[in-house]
Amino acid sequence: MNAPGRTTSKSYTRPYRPRLIAIINGIGRVLGGIGYRGSSLDEESLIQAAMRKTGLADFGNPSFRGRMKLLTGSIDAEAGLNPFGRFMVRQNLVRFLVNRLKIEEALKKHPEILEIPMDDPVIVVGLQRTGTTMMHRMLAADTENFRFLASWEAINPAPLPGKAGRTDDPRMKMAVIAQRALKYMAPDFFAIHPVEAREPEEDCLLFDFDFWSTVPEATMRVPAFSRWLEEQDHTEAYRYFKKILQFLYWQNPRGRWILKTPQHMEHFDEIFTVFPNARIINTHRDPSRVVASFCSMVSHAYGVFSDRVDPVEIGRHWSRKTLKMVTHAMDIRDRSGGGRFIDVHYADLMKDPVGIVRRVYGFLGIPFTSDKEKRIERWSKENPQNKHGRHSYRLDDFGLTKNEITRSFETYRNRFSIPEEQSHG
């Protein structure tokens, strides 16, 4: 298990595998040799499993089935899952469908949910590893002004029957179990992105329930699905996302949504269509550090589900995708009202978190009191950098060079005056 002083592994092609999981995979491969395919990802099998679990049959808009079929086809053909990874993926897919069924049932019983005003979220965006998690969690600590998405409700937005609103909501216990399981399977991952049941989590997880999410491409090799997803208009995705936010707010109403995920950088147009009064906090950091760090994160994530991890392929894919994200975001920002955005540099955030948060509060028109200042100072002391271990990464592990990244991202760096950082071993 990682702890302060520990450093993450760079043996990406040989993923860490606990003994029990290795044994399960070994048995699965033996059975595969005699014709057993393992956990089914067949569309109808998943649909029927979710219906059996819930006793429900209405999934809402059926368009999700086409996206689900594209995703499962890409996983089957390209992801190279090991037997335990395939089992976990099936469980996740069924979970998405179970929650869909429960959400639709709740909306039929309580149509007033869709009348909840939901047009002004505060959204933290930025390339992966630019301080978005720190920015998000510092603001989320202000529970008087903000409503954050907790990991436990991102995993299961729909409560168990009769359990909504309970302080001992069993979804929390389920998320704690999932947190411990991930730490057991991939202890290094927590030094890269801490996944804690009761803490704020990325809202990209909510896009899973309508099969619009980029989570699959950040955790598995699914290039066909990734290419298709990039080419789509995501307005429908954001309308479903809004519906889930309304559903969650109905369960626990307080403050203004504080959200965060890099995925939003590709979709500012759709965000402002669905959330016309949204405000964006855009974080920035030297891309040569960002790309290397995120490729390391993805490589560790791939290793949870598959024994075949190609860091050079990951480097090619994510260096291209991150460049596309910032280019697209700059183009949309040129066409959008400037008052919708505030820019935060990673170096400034690390040097003076209280000062940055004070500036963000001014941007949002929220008084920054001494109590809020003390809360931010306390959060910073309780959550030092490398709290869960030191994340180690290098561009050349992914077939990339600093000169190559510097040239590719020159326009972006100049636009936001992003300083160069020293290499990280």
| Residue 36 binned pLDDT confidence (cut-offs 50, 70, 90) | low
What span, in angstroms and rounded, lies between the C-alpha atoms of 54 and 160?
A: 10
Q: In percent, how much of the chain has pLDDT > 70? A: 95
Mean pLDDT of the chain: 91
Model pTM score: 0.93
pLDDT tens string 106-134: 999 999 999 999 999 999 999 988 999 99
pLDDT tens string 190-236: 777 778 889 999 999 999 999 999 999 999 999 999 999 999 999 99
pLDDT tens string 42-86: 999 999 999 999 999 999 999 999 999 999 999 999 999 999 999
The amino acid that residue 81 corresponds to is L
Strand arrangement, sheet containing 341-345? 146-148, 256-260, 122-126, 279-284, 341-345
Q: Are 281 and 145 in contact (CB under 8 A)?
A: no
pLDDT tens string 360-412: 999 999 999 999 999 888 988 888 876 667 778 899 999 999 999 999 999 99
Quote the pLDDT of residue 35: 64
Quote the pLDDT of residue 162: 64
Residue 164 has pLDDT above 60, yes or no: no
Residue 34 has pLDDT above 60, yes or no: yes
Q: Are 231 and 95 in contact (CB under 8 A)?
A: no
Quote the pLDDT of residue 1: 42
Residue 38 has pLDDT above 80, yes or no: no
Q: List the beta bridge partners of residue 344.
A: 283
Residue 2 has pLDDT above 50, yes or no: no
CB atoms near residue 264 (< 10 Å): 26
